[in-house]
Amino acid sequence: MILVSNNINNLNIYYLYYIYMEKLALTCKVLYDKDWLDNIKLCKDGQVKPVIKYESIHDWMRKMNEFQVSLKHFLDEQLSNQAIFNELKENMDWLNDDHIFIKNFLKFMYDSCLIMTEHKYKYWSLDNARVATSAVKGALKGFYYSTEYIHRITKDKICNIIVSIIFSMFGTQDSYPGIFDKISYMKCFMCKKFKNEVVTLGTNGKEICLSCCRNEV
């Protein structure tokens, strides 16, 4: 009887262990599937160009102005920190993502891109933040090698270089749209569609897309 009882207990233990392992496997599969789906979503996010709608060009300009002001404020705050400035200045010939300023700049650009895209396009925001950060690293390295004396590397010069690069990349250009221009859409008062290329008629006029504008000429 004792032997039979022990065998039954062992069977119960094995059964409970089997049930536990089966549930653990299912849990792992759920977690794996979630990671896989998250990665698929990120891939789709990266493939889809953001479409951000604005009521008017004036609303878009206000949003862009807020971005420009926040960039200048960020740079002023970072470069006023002597420890951060010294590390940046001493490593400008070979900046990498481990330096404090570069880390903070990448995060700032990522957060700014998220704000501009209404927090809907995380992968797109991270991708463009990385591109902007790489451009800044390259420009600062070029500035370092073109400067004869390191004491000529000032906070103002670094700030002006970064502002010029970022505004050129993300803002309006003479012959082609910047990164934020490409994702901004306004409603044409004629065709009632949201279009990427619009112009304003008059000082307080409405937005009209280029297609409708050509048809009216």
Tens of pLDDT, residue by residue over 99-127, are 999 999 999 999 999 999 999 899 999 99
Same domain? 32 vs 91: no
Same domain? 95 vs 57: yes
Same domain? 152 vs 57: yes
In tens, the pLDDT along 161-214 reads 999 999 999 987 667 788 998 899 988 888 888 888 887 775 567 888 888 877
Same domain? 84 vs 34: no
Domains in the chain: how many in total? 3
Same domain? 161 vs 101: yes
Q: 18 is in which domain, residue-wise?
A: 1-47
| Cα 151–Cα 131–Cα 89 angle in degrees, nearest 5 | 15
Copy the structure tokens of residue 36: 């896989």
Residue 162: partners with Cβ closer than 8 Å, 6 or more residues away:
71, 75, 105, 136, 139, 140
